[in-house]
A = this chain, B = another copy of it.
């Protein structure tokens, strides 16, 4: 009998399969980005997204499930070029959950919403019996307006385009995992959870709209899975250079110790953008002025040397194929 596996929630290959085989034929999911962009005929375009958060533990270095839930949904909207405006919050709470933890989480959500400039306008609370949940799960859904003239998507990608990353890889995943397993690293690794809408606004202010082809936030499944999604959706080959991938020494150390690959570790405060080669310079300059973009780097480019493939040029001069996360590396990371 076919059953749901932890890997179906990984963001990787199993999840893509579940979505493609079961959700897509039944629902109206057009492009498989996290936000739907809806044309309100005559009005502006609306972006609409949803995400449930089940991160364990609920509190980790740099944040908690509430902060993550607000920033994550703000980011999903930002990735389609929308200006995030309104959020809803749905809580599934396990009976016996401490009210003091509830308060901390709510207050983090309020702070995160304020920082991102969005408003939480509707909510829902359900309680399940003890042993039928895990403390608290939070769904945030969000809407935003896509400004006229902004239209992102894999169809705009061309050979020669550059691939940008806005910050260090792997911090969120390693921070959650270290908290979960009682590990500590030196220097300590702190989740990068942050709202990217400010950085995105600066990017659009600094370059013509059409220079930015597509943006994605590499959460579950990490940078590798996100790049592979972009390669699949556009049909192009993406070649990245291992030596250019920004990773902190803390994350490198943790990954070496634990046998993990930073390319597959979840991030919650960085974005990947494919941009036109003419705009690369100005974009880098603009992004680096923003606190969340100070480690921005060009990590690779789009080519047509293979179809729907991601290639990694390693530091020692080799080339390897980068695939989606298969199965589950770190469950319940967001």
Q: What is A's interface to B at a CB cutoff of 8 Å?
A: 1-10, 15, 18-19, 22-23, 26-30, 34-36, 38, 40, 43-44, 46, 48-54, 56, 85-86, 88-100, 102-103, 106-107, 109-110, 113, 119-129, 131-134, 137, 139, 141, 143, 145, 331-332
Contacts and interface: CB of A to CB of B under 8 A. Distances in A.
B28 A95 contact: no
Contact of A3 (B38, B98, B121, B141): B98
Given A88-B49, A121-B48, A132-B133, A126 B54 contact: yes
Contacts of A4: 93-99, 102, 127
27 contacts: A3-B97, A4-B93, A8-B125, A9-B93, A9-B126, A22-B106, A26-B106, A26-B107, A27-B109, A27-B110, A27-B119, A27-B121, A34-B122, A35-B122, A36-B121, A36-B122, A38-B85, A50-B124, A52-B139, A90-B90, A90-B141, A128-B137, A129-B332, A132-B134, A137-B137, A139-B139, A141-B141
Contacts of A92: 52, 54, 92, 137
B27 A143 contact: no
B123 A50 contact: yes
Contact of A51 (B46, B94, B124): B124
Contact residues of A: prevailing secondary structure: mixed
B86 A48 contact: yes
Nearest to A11: B125
